[in-house]
Structures are given as structure tokens and as C-alpha cells.
Amino acid sequence: MKNRKVIIEEFGTPAVIRLIEGEITEPGFGEVRIRIEASTVSSTDIFIRKGIYPLLKQKPPFTLGYDFVGSIEKLGAGVTGFKSGDKVCSIVMIGGNAEYIIAHASDLTLLPKDVDSTKAACLSLSGITAYQMFMNCAKVKAGQLILVHGGSGAVGDTLIQLGKLYNCEVVTTASKNKHERIINYGAIAVDYNDQGYFERLNLLSGSRGYDAIFDFTNQKSFNNDIKLLKKGGILVTYAVFSSSLTIEKKTFFNFLLFGLDFGLMMLKLRLRYWNTFSGKKAM
């Protein structure tokens, strides 16, 4: 038996991605071997592949894949609380895009066997990110008006669904070809490619302003978001995705620019947070 996995041997463009076959290894003490049934590919994986993800310590070669859902195939010595055949999930940062993975039992979450593996994988990294921001950062309440930038992405998609579960009015930005799905969720879709999209967002907020805005795009968008918030509203940011688009691979200069962009944005939002006259919060 072989373990097919998606690897990179250097940071770079999609051209560095390779599918290889390796040996299936044995679990060590406290570890289990898992046959992976589903794993995701998200913008975070793109950051990792390029080498600009701040939390990544490893250097290539390694297997891509931030999360996975699978079934335990073999237990290592000292493992308790799990048995062969259990369905589990985990967030591992790298290693999920493979057929098998060795993981420490303490890093696993047990899932009901009847849960669809693909749906569960979508809720691992992206779903938890959206839930934490919605519930713990913005503390969204039923009936509020929220704005979700990039509503067609994995995190944005989940934020929209959470908003509708809370009977919120949800406005989201996305390219025109993604609007049908967003509208089917019950949200209002605005094309960010339209020249007057900011005015459209402002119009949709009426005189209220948005109670919460979720944004992962860039500093220009964040500056506009502050203007769209109601007094006491909350802006939650979790990336600077557009800054990564022109970066093909990690160099010291690229990494520095990417980090400075994110750092300056966070400093700007921190200063906004302390502006007691606006009453608006940024997280």
C-alpha cells in the first residue's frame, strides 16, 4: 500500500505542486494512523504554498493541507479514548492533502459516524474561523445588519449562513458570477467590480450603518469599512488577501512587504479602536 499525497519541494506558484506516492508509516506512541476521507484547499493553503503564512515554521518539502476528516485505521501505543474505525477531524496546518496521515491522538476531535466527511471538512478550518469571528469577536445579535466581504469564499460563505440563522440582514460583496448562490442563501449581493460599489453598500445600510463588518481584503477596503460602521459597530479582519496575489514565492522582500501590509493595517485598526469619539471597534 502506498500513500498518495500532494507536496511542494519549494515555495512558489502552483507549478511547484506535485502528486507523489510514499510509504505508509506506522504510528508512534500516542499517535494514530488515519485514512483521510476529505480535506480542503483554502486561501491559507495558498499562503503556505507561497511561503508567506506567518505561522508556518516548516520548510519544504512537506505535504499541503491545513485540515482533514478521516477514519482511524491503526492505534499506536498509549492511545486512549479512540478505537479503530472512529471518524475524526483535525487542524494540522500541513499534511492534510494525502490519503493517510499520522496524527497525535490529543489533536483529534471525534465525529459522529453518520456525518458527511466533505461537509465536516468544510467546517474544520473555515467554519471554525467564521464561527469564532461571528460569535466571539463581533458577538452578532439576532436581527442586526452585517456586511461580509468575499461572501463566495469558504469563510464568507459560512458567515452568510450564520447571519441568516440569526435572522440578520446580510449584505455581501462578490464577483457577479457568484451572486446566484449568495442570493439563494437570502443575502444581498453587491459586485465589488462595479465602480460605485461603495456607494451601493452605503445606500443599503441606510441611516443605520452596519452593526458588524467582516473583511479579509486590503487596507483600502478597511478604510471604507470604518465609514460604513454604525456607532458602536465592530469591524473584524482576518487577512490581507489581495496583498498576496502579486506574490509568487517567498523572498525576504516579499515576506517583509506582506507582513508590513498586515501589520500597518492592524496598527491602523488599533488606533481606530482607541478613538473613543467614533465609538467604533476594530478587531
Other C-beta atoms lying within 10 Å of the C-beta of residue 172? 28
Residue 209 has pLDDT above 60, yes or no: yes
The rounded mean pLDDT for the chain is 87
pLDDT at 72: 98
| Residue 283 or 197, more confident | 197
Residue 204 has pLDDT above 90, yes or no: yes
Instruction: Lowest mean pLDDT of 95-109, 113-127, 204-218, 238-252, name the range.
Output: 238-252
CA distance 71 to 33: 9
Digit-coded pLDDT (tens) for 50-63 = 988 878 899 999 99
pLDDT at 276: 37
CA distances from 232 to 71, 119, 215, 221 (A): 46, 35, 17, 19
pLDDT at 271: 45
Digit-coded pLDDT (tens) for 99-110 = 999 999 999 999
Residue 267 has pLDDT above 50, yes or no: no
Q: Which letter does DSSP use for residue 26 in this model?
A: P
pLDDT at 70: 98
Contact yes or no for 164/235 (Cβ under 8 A): no
CA distance 223 to 211: 16
Please state the rounded mean pLDDT for residues 186-207: 91
Residue 231 has pLDDT above 70, yes or no: yes
Please state the rounded mean pLDDT for residues 235-258: 65
Residue 249 has pLDDT above 90, yes or no: no
pLDDT at 274: 40
